[in-house]
Structure 1
Amino acid sequence: MKNLLFLALTFCFTTLFAQNNINTFIEEGIIYHDNGEYDKALAAYEKALLLDPQSTVVNYEMALTYFKKNDYKNTIARADMVLKKNDDNLVNAYLIKGSALDMMGEVKESIKLFKKAIRKFPEDYLLPYNLALNHYKLNQMDEAKEYVIKAIENNPNHGSSHWMLANIESAQGNTVQSLLANHYFLLLEPNSSRSLDAYNMLQQNFAGNVTKSKDEAITINISMSDDDDPFSAAALMLGLMGASNMLPENADKTAEELFVENTNSFFQILGELKKENEKGLYWNFYTPFFYDLAKSEHLETYCMFISQSGNKNAEAWLNENTEKLKTFAAWLKE
């Protein structure tokens, strides 16, 4: 009995010691990886594999490092080790393998893999986002839109999904839908490396269908859909607002004042156009949120907040109105 107890304790201590060593090697490898020392990272992970060749954590970290080295075959080999174990890190393994296939030019295989993964993990948001990205690269905009909307529905706080949707809708000439997605992206990401592009697109889409000739004639260009487009009325109102900005009575208003007024009108119009039977992301997610925002006391703060990447006046306004910004942040949490 004592011998059995001794053997059991020895096994427990040996297992614990091995696990501690594995964790040490993994942490060492992650540090090397983060510092861009990928060969040293792989050497550390190899030491961990000697203690547990089937570790899903180690194999996934190796896949990630191989991906950074542009070694996509080894990326896939390590990701497959994780997928065969069918234990932890499965979603991450699908993501890194799908990305590796994409980088190798095997986009169709990547699409098949992501669709398989989505069936297994329907509530994940990065899988449909990456699938949408593949379709986007192939210029398959309708398919890209379908899956990026699914990504947003699974995680409304994923800025990249809103940004992709804004670009898809802009490419398809759907100005109203592009504006809504872009507005939400800038709310989530007002001052990142992509924010200036988003801000410029927002400004262009807002008044891009209005021109003024040398003789002061204002022309509104509206592209009418053959279908019963529920956004056509909003698109027409955008044109009218853009034309109104050029009228003499608005000549003394600042760009910031006009932006706040136009944004308020845009959100109000959409809220009033919404019908009970309207469905989908635009009517059930974007429109109610922005309609409530337009009816609140925070619209000016919001407009300055999303403009900070492309408007120094907006940035200065935010620095001078920190209390309003705090109140707006509190309203968003409610």
Structure 2
Amino acid sequence: MKKRLFGFIILLLLSINSFAQSDIENLVKEGIQYHDNREYDKAIETYKRALKIAPNSTLVNYEIALSYFSKGDYKEAVKYSDVVLKQDKDLLLQAYMTKGSALDMLGKTKESIKLFNKAIKKTEGHYLLYYNLGLNYYKISDLENAEDNIIKAIELNPNHSSSHLILASIHNQKGNSVQTLLSSHYFLFLEPNSQRSLDAYSILQKNFGGNVSKDKEKPNTINILLSPNNDSQFGAAELMVSMLEASKSLEENEGKSDDEMFVENTEKFFKVLGELKKKKNKEIWWTFYTTFFYDLAKSEHLETYCKYITQIGNENSKNWIAENTDALNKFDEWLKNN
């Protein structure tokens, strides 16, 4: 009799637990729906009903933290993220991301940097942790640490467009035109048609010939200013970029449109970098960017690429893209095979 009673109690407890888990899952789904509709207060209210059933649920506490963050209540976002982090179980990465970003929004960027460094050691690294850490270093003007961490993010996820954009911004601020061009090119390749693409397109245009100026008193004289900050390994490439811009005024290029010159000079830029690359060059500029762009320059798809990445700021490119879907499909096939 005692065994039967004990078995009945166990089944009853399991049944209660099952019903409770089902209730939590339904409440979380409901809360997520409110969150996705930007009804953050309703989402939080729903999650808190779930918390009454399971106060230590990592899922529920994380979802509350996320909704508070989205609402702009960063202190509460930190509070509920801490509940997840203290349990040291599930959703650690997400909780670190939410808390770190909330600290930054609260003006505690240095504290956020410490947290992200801790999170990288705890979770063995993730590209979003490195990206956010690099972004925070950039915000406090520590460009060296910013670059180091952004490059680590790219190495872990080359398709994370934001990492390429911030890397372009870092080197644009340093005055390094070659590195700025390479990273902004790749950002536009990944994200050619967004609001951010306009900024990247502007950076690209500025650095592709930004060191060239004409002497007003001597119309036939062109001045080339090389960056004193750039590494010697890019000196030849930077000079070449400036000379490409200067070549627009040569007699042989008379009558060519800016679009035609952009395609020609982009091809020359990529090919010269490919020829400058040496086996000893281990940096991302050579092993990743130059390798890709050199192969692209040697293919038959360079014009398509140039039209594709400039569609956001060039009406001619936008129209070309609309009229040349076959060329785009062939470019896409080339990318898949390479």
In structure 2, distance between residues paired with 1:37 and 1:130: 26
Matched residue, 2:252? 249
Matched residue, 2:325? 322
Structure 1 residue 228, shift from structure 2 partner: 5.9
TM-score (norm 2): 0.95
TM-score (norm 1): 0.96
1:136 aligns with 2:138: yes
Aligned counterpart in structure 2 of residue 301 of structure 1, from 296, 301, 304: 304
Contact preservation (8 Å) 2:175, 2:229: no
Structure 1 residue 227, shift from structure 2 partner: 7.9
- Please give the per-residue CA displacement for 1:241-289, whole angstroms capped at 9, x wherever unaligned: 0000122321211221111101100000000000001111111110101
**Within-5 A mapping of 1:1-334:** 1-214=3-216, 215-223=218-226, 225=228, 229-334=232-337
SS of 1:216's equivalent?
coil
Structure 1 residue 161, shift from structure 2 partner: 0.5
In structure 1, distance between residues paired with 2:11 and 2:305: 62
Contact preservation (8 Å) 1:222, 1:235: no
Q: Structure 2: which amino acid aligns with 1:306?
A: I
Judged with a 3 Å threshold, the aligned counterparts in structure 2 of structure 1 residues 120 and 216 are, in CA distance, closer, same or farther, namely same
Structure 1 residue 31, shift from structure 2 partner: 1.5
State the identity %.
54
SS of 2:208's equivalent?
helix
- Please give the per-residue CA displacement for 1:1-23, whole angstroms capped at 9, x wherever unaligned: 54444434333332222222111
- Please give the per-residue CA displacement for 1:40-97, whole angstroms capped at 9, x wherever unaligned: 1111001111121111111111111111232222111100000011111101111111
In structure 2, distance between residues paired with 1:228 and 1:75: 43
Moved more, 1-10 or 235-244: 1-10
Judged with a 3 Å threshold, the aligned counterparts in structure 2 of structure 1 residues 142 and 10 are, in CA distance, closer, same or farther, namely same
Moved more, 264-273 or 243-252: 243-252
Contact preservation (8 Å) 1:123, 1:154: no
In structure 2, distance between residues paired with 1:124 and 1:171: 26
SS of 1:185's equivalent?
helix
In structure 1, distance between residues paired with 2:268 and 2:207: 15
- Please give the per-residue CA displacement for 1:117-169, whole angstroms capped at 9, x wherever unaligned: 11122340111111111111111111111111111111111100000000000
In structure 2, distance between residues paired with 1:235 and 1:280: 17
How many matched pairs? 334
In structure 2, distance between residues paired with 1:280 and 1:8: 61
Structure 1 residue 220, shift from structure 2 partner: 3.4
